[in-house]
Structure 1
Amino acid sequence: MAPGSSTGPEHERSGFDVVDKGTDGHIPLSALRPVHRAISGVNGAVGIDATMQAIADGVVACTPFQIIAVNYVQDDGDLRCCAVAGPDELRAALLGGTCARKTIEDLLKVGEAWSDNLRFIRELSSDEPPEGIHLFVPDIDARPEDADAWQPDYALLAPMRDNGGELIGLLSVDDPSDGRIPPRWVGDVLDMFAEQAGFAILNARRHEEAAARMARLERERELLREDIAERHRREEHLRHQARHDALTGLANPVELSERLVALLADQIPLAVVFCDLDRFKEVNDNRGHVVGDLVLRMVAERLRASVRGEDVVARVGGDEFVVVAAGIGPDEALALVDRIDQAFSHPLAVTGARLLVRASLGLAYEPARQQNVFAPEERAQELLGSADREMYARKRSRAMLTRLTARALARRAPVAG
């Protein structure tokens, strides 16, 4: 009889394949191999739930009992049925149910001692079950005239304890396959198995506690990794903001200077192209700063599209830009200037209008040098200044050409008569 719920119907008996050749006080050799296999199965289970089910299945394998309920002491002290072996009705009736610990301990006190640990209960009526406990009663014919027959009100309880004797679980077994009270050596087998099962429960609990600690530690590590990654992202974002122009996303003067100095320190040939937009003030004055900002972002995109991915494109002033291209020769530097100039030859589509924004360009070229009398920082400023001066020289030349052209056109204009 097993702690649990209401009465279940008759079920098919599985049979017990251990030959009963033992005498009181002696376990037959034929029983030792099933016991060993059952204990190995229990010890090989991983986790509390799997261990509990292995215990239930192990009792069936090494004893004649066909109905087993494995109860586990919860944190609140009561026992929960966490594994069963037997008919489907048993699983539905008992699994997950709880029993009051005090009632179980009272039963253990009044039960007939089959050993220091086992208790044989002869009177567990389903009509008046002990308080705090339910019963599953198999459909067994009552044979009161047969003193050795297993009666419906019988049950055998095998407590599972820790090294200090504290109750950690309970095996409740019922319905021996031959319908008779088994010999005492079967009780010895069950007692030995219950002792080993208690150790297995403790090991499974320690394993789950260790696994839970490892899971918590891994979660903490993951949170720490995420925190570090987020900190790195914030630092990278701040670093990017500190070195890039907020409007266009291009490098700012700080980033430009660092990259240019590093290239010069490595003695890599490079070209510096200074770009200044022509008459950009008129765009801001006539169309407003919103349109002016949009023009600057579009100019930035055109500059990016005109150079290689590894080249530096920077905004160094309101309408001034610098391109640094490393690892190129003089002819390639001139071709770079032509590409940038072509990028400004097509109008920009801005808020429904088409604006032709031109730029004046200045080129400074630095060949590879084995030795340089200037420090990289000084040479960087010199190159930027040289490109800036050439740009302004071209801007003045373009302005002079424009004025000369305007005068020539004015002289050719017909005089009104």
Structure 2
Amino acid sequence: MGAGRSLAETLQAVVDGVVTGLGFGIAVLNLRQPDGKFEVIAVAGSPEAREALLGTVSSADIFDAEFAIADHWGRLRFVPHERLPEGEVIGWVPDVPVSDDPAAWHPLDALFAPLYSPDGELVGMLAVDLPEDQRRPGPIHRELLEIFATQAGLAIDKARLTDQLLAEKARLEASETTFRMVFEGAGNGMATIAFDGPEAGRILRVNDAFCRITGYAADQLVGERMLSFLREEEPAQTRQELEEVAASNGTYRFERVFTQPAGKAIWLGGTAAVVDQGAGQPRILLIQVDDVTARKDAERELRHHAAHDPLTGLPNRRLLQHRFASVLERTRETGRPGALLFCDLNHFKLVNDNYGHEAGDRALREIAGRLAAEVRHGDTVARLGGDEFAILAEDIADDALAALIARLESAVSQPLPNITVQVTTSVGTAPITPASTDLDTLLHQADQAMYTTKNRRP
């Protein structure tokens, strides 16, 4: 959802992000048109849904009836299938089995996320389906979707403005007077940069918005090289890409870290176009930028939430899977084995029973911190759920592995603050070798080994 994307690119990025980042099987984006009607512009996750829905146009009140019977989850609207009028089905329905579990996701359930611009205008409607755990989303999952929807609405609004600015630029290239008025009055930061000749790379002109965003006065910018303010890792590649864009009369889209006067780094996102000023005149680069730091921070937070356990802050199963794939690849390259440890807490139920779940949550956070403190640098401690943890340890065996297990057992068995129940841990291990195949198999092996260890305890 980067600034500088066209509207079509932004819409597809939104639905792709929902499917790949938030764990829904299907995402559909209805864009609100100027006449108030909704058109399905982007679909992700299901070729069948895409074929059935893409391009369909619905009336402005298409969602009113469903929203009237919906549960309000913050800005989200959830329509449980049991409230739908009998025999009434709106839109495409996935062909999936129906579970008897009341908390399971039903194919007729519907979850909507309205998308708003910064000034509160409804710009679209995001519909999601088929959560990957096949259950109705809980509070954390809902919050992540709501955060994503907020950022998506802002990105769509930015993309519309970008498309409008690019179209306006194309019309105004022949009129320097009119262009100057647009340049100076634009809400986005704009600058021109020499693209050819000895002055190539130097800033020629900036507008007030560019100065406001970057924190520099115009006389501090004009004449300076743009690269002296940017964190540019591959300037030669950027130059080549700009040349290709110029040859095709296209637009270059970018996001770069910019250093403000006090040394603070911000993210700038925007577009750049190479402008031919005519025969004998050097080409210039016209750029428009926005401060996208807040969005980048929100995206980073969103990625963190999607990969970490909300209670302990430890990596979750998804991040464990990602890191396991890297460890397995290196194990196959070096031939040196690693280990997957499965840790189950003993007597932890007594903590919840005797002290309550709030105390149990504090104890889990304490134990998670102890486990993380005892592993080696580079090892991964993940929470699988409940009182179960997994530890991914690369390049370890025999005495080193036994020493790691002993440290973990000792750390967990230490008294918990204000709790008299002695919690211990049983640890099972499974070796990671070049012949290992997948994480689920190793987790099952380590789980079985853990139960063997647990049964040996007096």
Higher strand share: 2
Higher helix share: 1
Larger radius of gyration: 1
User: Which structure ranks higher in relative contact order (CA pairs < 8 Å, sequence separation ≥ 6)?
Assistant: 1
TM norm. shorter chain > 0.5: no
**TM-score, normalization by structure 1:** 0.40
